[in-house]
Amino acid sequence: MFEIKKICCIGAGYVGGPTCSVIAHMCPEIRVTVVGVNESRINAWNSPTLPVYEVNIKQLFVLMFFVFLLSLLNNLHY
């Protein structure tokens, strides 16, 4: 078994940004880094004004986190 300590997401758009923010929020022991070519979007993720808005963002984050976990479990080989 292995332990995930760092995650890097390439792309801070409507998929990568929220996905990594959920991982960072739900797994504070994992260092999450998001990289992208749009400097203003990266700056927005580091500010109080987020670059994306969803009405039910909390439910979306939880759903995306569980999808991420399921994909990890799916890729494990015993």
Q: Is the pLDDT of residue 61 over 60?
A: yes
Q: What is the dihedral of CA 54, 51, 24, 59, to 10 degrees?
A: 0
Q: What does pTM read for this prediction?
A: 0.59
Q: Given CA atoms 41, 46, 50, 54 in this order, what sign does their dihedral have? A: positive
For 7, other C-beta atoms within 10 Å of its C-beta total 16
**pLDDT for 33-47, tens place per residue?**
989 898 888 888 888
Q: What pLDDT score does 57 carry?
A: 66
Q: What pLDDT score does 53 carry?
A: 65
Instruction: Return d(Cα 59, Cα 76) in angstroms, integer.
Output: 26
Instruction: Return d(Cα 25, Cα 67) in angstroms, integer.
Output: 15
